[in-house]
Amino acid sequence: MGDLISDLNGETWRAQAWGFVQVRLHDRLGERTRLLIPCTSLGDVGAASGAVGVCMATRAFARKYASGEHTVIVSSAEHGEVGAIRVTAPGAPA
């Protein structure tokens, strides 16, 4: 349960990759995970998407509007590299 922050930005290959994730992890993600897409309010931030995601997660914990105690930030590159980081709210069990 928590937020998932993704670098989806309208590019077809990113949308396809997200579709594959949804098919494979539907039972794990389900309705317990809220998808946040920073580019809908900030525009495409490019290589800074991971850092922007960490800032968004930290702010959501501080202001108490995160949907859970954990947030996963996902960034991908067009050549297939994918990175992810899990950020945990202060005081939450790891």
Residue 69 in this model has a pLDDT that exceeds 90: yes
In 39-80, beta strands by DSSP E: 70-76
35 touches 6 (CB < 8 A): yes
Q: Give pLDDT tens digits for 2-15.
A: 999 999 998 999 99
- Give the Cα separation of 15 and 9 in Å (integer): 8
Instruction: Look at residue 81 and give its three-state secondary structure.
Output: coil
Residue 1 in this model has a pLDDT that exceeds 90: no
What pLDDT does 47 receive?
A: 86
Q: Are strands 2-6 and 70-76 parallel, antiparallel or unpaired?
A: parallel
Q: Give pLDDT tens digits for 24-50.
A: 888 877 777 899 999 988 888 888 999
What pLDDT does 64 receive?
A: 95
What residues does each domain of the chain span?
2-88
The reported pTM is 0.88
For the chain, how are helix, strand and coil distributed in percent, rounded to 5?
45, 25, 30
Nearest to 82 by CA among 34, 14, 27: 14
3: CB partners within 8 A, 6+ apart: 33, 34, 35, 36, 57, 60, 66, 67, 68, 70, 71, 72
